[in-house]
Structure 1
Amino acid sequence: MDSIVVTGGTPLKGQIAIAGAKNAALTLMPATLLSEEPLTLTNAPRLSDIATMTALLQSLGVEVTSMQDGKVQVLSSHAMTSTTADYEIVRKMRASNLVLGPLLARHHQAVVSLPGGCAIGARPMDIHVTALEAMGAEIELKDGYLHATAKGGLKGAKVPLRFASVGATENVLMAATLAKGTTVIENAAREPEIVDLAHCLRRMGAQIEGEGTSTITIQGVDRLGAATHPVVTDRIELGTYMLAPVFAGGEVECLGGRLDLVGSFVEKLDAAGVDVTETAGGLKVKRRSERAKAVDVTTEVFPGFPTDLQAQMMAMLCTADGTSVLEEKIFENRFMHAPELIRMGADIEVQGGVATVTGVKRLKGAPVMATDLRASVSLILAGLAAEGETTVSRIYHLDRGYEHIEEKLSAVGAKIERVSS
Structure 2
Amino acid sequence: MDSIAIVGGARLYGDIPVSGAKNSAIKLMAAAILTDQPLTLTNMPRLADTRFLGQLLRAFGIRVDELGADTTVLHAAELTSTFAPYDLVRQMRASFNVLGPLLARTGEARVSLPGGCTIGARPVDLHLKALQALGAEITLEEGYVHAVAPHGLKGTRIDFPFVSVGATEHALLAAVLADGVTVLRRAACEPEIGDLALCLNAMGARIEGIGTNTLTITGVRALSGTQWSVIPDRIEMGSYAVAAAMAGGEVRLTRSRPELIAALTDRMVAAGVEVSPTSDGVVVRRDPLVRLRAVDVTTEVYPGFATDLQAQFMALMTLAEGESVVHETIFENRFMHAPELARLGAEISVHGGEAQVRGVERLVGAPVMATDLRASMSLIIAGLAAEGETIVSRVYHLDRGFEHLEAKLAACGAQVRRIRGEADEH
What TM-score results when the alignment is normalised by the length of structure 2? 0.97
Determine if contact 1:136/1:155 at 8 Å carries over to the other structure. Answer: yes
Please list the CA deviations of residues 233-261 of structure 1 after superposition, one character each: whole Å capped at 9, or x if unmatched: 00000000011121111010000221221
Q: Where does residue 268 of structure 1 map in the other structure?
A: 267
**Residue 85, structure 1, aligned to residue 92, structure 2:** no
- Note the C-alpha offset of 1:280: 2.0
Q: State the distance in 2 between where 1:29 and 1:66 align.
A: 12
Please list the CA deviations of residues 138-194 of structure 1 after superposition, one character each: whole Å capped at 9, or x if unmatched: 111111111111111100000111121111100111111100000000000000000
Counting matched residue pairs gives: 420
Q: State the distance in 2 between where 1:172 and 1:420 align.
A: 41
Which has the higher mean CA deviation after the structures are superposed, 53-62 or 266-275? 266-275
Determine if contact 2:369/2:394 at 8 Å carries over to the other structure. Answer: yes
Determine if contact 2:119/2:333 at 8 Å carries over to the other structure. Answer: yes
Q: Where does residue 332 of structure 1 map in the other structure?
A: 332
Show the 5 A alignment for 1:186-265: 186-265=185-264
Q: 1:13 to 1:118 in 2, by over 3 A?
A: farther
- Note the C-alpha offset of 1:16: 0.1
Q: 1:6 to 1:116 in 2, by over 3 A?
A: farther
Please list the CA deviations of residues 27-71 of structure 1 after superposition, one character each: whole Å capped at 9, or x if unmatched: 1000001000010000000100010000011111110010013x1
Q: Where does residue 424 of structure 2 map in the other structure?
A: none
* Matched AA of 1:351: H
Q: Where does residue 160 of structure 1 map in the other structure?
A: 159
Q: Where does residue 115 of structure 1 map in the other structure?
A: 114
Task: Give SS of 2:324's match.
Answer: strand
Which has the higher mean CA deviation after the structures are superposed, 276-285 or 228-237? 276-285
Q: State the distance in 2 between where 1:123 and 1:327 align.
A: 18
Q: State the distance in 2 between where 1:351 and 1:41 align.
A: 43
Determine if contact 1:92/1:117 at 8 Å carries over to the other structure. Answer: no
Show the 5 A alignment for 1:10-49: 10-49=10-49
Q: State the distance in 2 between where 1:295 and 1:393 align.
A: 29
Q: Where do 5+ consecutive residues of structure 1 fail to align?
A: none
Please list the CA deviations of residues 69-106 of structure 1 after superposition, one character each: whole Å capped at 9, or x if unmatched: 3x100001112111111100100111111101101111
Q: State the distance in 2 between where 1:12 and 1:334 align.
A: 28
Q: State the distance in 1 between where 2:303 and 2:234 align.
A: 12
Q: Aligned residues: percent identity? A: 57
Which has the higher mean CA deviation after the structures are superposed, 184-193 or 75-84? 75-84
Q: Where does residue 401 of structure 2 map in the other structure?
A: 401
Q: Where does residue 127 of structure 1 map in the other structure?
A: 126
**Residue 52, structure 1, aligned to residue 49, structure 2:** no
Q: State the distance in 2 between where 1:4 and 1:210 align.
A: 43
* Matched AA of 1:48: A
Task: Give SS of 1:262's match.
Answer: helix
**Residue 360, structure 1, aligned to residue 360, structure 2:** yes
Q: State the distance in 1 between where 2:19 and 2:263 align.
A: 20
Q: State the distance in 2 between where 1:269 and 1:153 align.
A: 49
Determine if contact 1:256/1:282 at 8 Å carries over to the other structure. Answer: yes
Please list the CA deviations of residues 6-45 of structure 1 after superposition, one character each: whole Å capped at 9, or x if unmatched: 0000111000000000000011000001000010000000
Q: State the distance in 2 between where 1:100 and 1:273 align.
A: 46
Q: Where does residue 73 of structure 2 map in the other structure?
A: 74
- Note the C-alpha offset of 1:117: 7.3
Task: Give SS of 2:396's match.
Answer: coil
* Matched AA of 1:54: G
Determine if contact 2:130/2:167 at 8 Å carries over to the other structure. Answer: yes
- Note the C-alpha offset of 1:279: 1.1
Determine if contact 1:93/1:116 at 8 Å carries over to the other structure. Answer: no
Task: Give SS of 1:102's match.
Answer: helix
Show the 5 A alignment for 1:252-331: 252-287=251-286, 290-331=290-331
Q: Where does residue 65 of structure 2 map in the other structure?
A: 65
Task: Give SS of 1:132's match.
Answer: helix
- Note the C-alpha offset of 1:282: 1.1
Determine if contact 1:64/1:75 at 8 Å carries over to the other structure. Answer: yes
Q: State the distance in 1 between where 2:66 and 2:154 align.
A: 35
Q: State the distance in 2 between where 1:330 and 1:139 align.
A: 28
Q: State the distance in 1 between where 2:313 and 2:257 align.
A: 19
Determine if contact 2:347/2:358 at 8 Å carries over to the other structure. Answer: yes
* Structural RMSD (CA): 1.0
Determine if contact 1:276/1:285 at 8 Å carries over to the other structure. Answer: yes
Q: State the distance in 1 between where 2:392 and 2:146 align.
A: 40
Determine if contact 2:257/2:280 at 8 Å carries over to the other structure. Answer: no
* Matched AA of 1:46: R
Determine if contact 2:340/2:368 at 8 Å carries over to the other structure. Answer: yes
Task: Give SS of 1:66's match.
Answer: strand
Determine if contact 1:118/1:372 at 8 Å carries over to the other structure. Answer: no
Determine if contact 1:128/1:171 at 8 Å carries over to the other structure. Answer: yes
Q: State the distance in 1 between where 2:94 and 2:221 align.
A: 26
Determine if contact 1:246/1:292 at 8 Å carries over to the other structure. Answer: no
- Note the C-alpha offset of 1:118: 4.9
- Note the C-alpha offset of 1:211: 1.4
What TM-score results when the alignment is normalised by the length of structure 1? 0.98
- Note the C-alpha offset of 1:292: 1.5
* Matched AA of 1:85: A
Please list the CA deviations of residues 313-342 of structure 1 after superposition, one character each: whole Å capped at 9, or x if unmatched: 011100011101101111111100000000
Determine if contact 1:118/1:373 at 8 Å carries over to the other structure. Answer: no
Q: State the distance in 2 between where 1:107 and 1:218 align.
A: 19
* Matched AA of 1:274: V
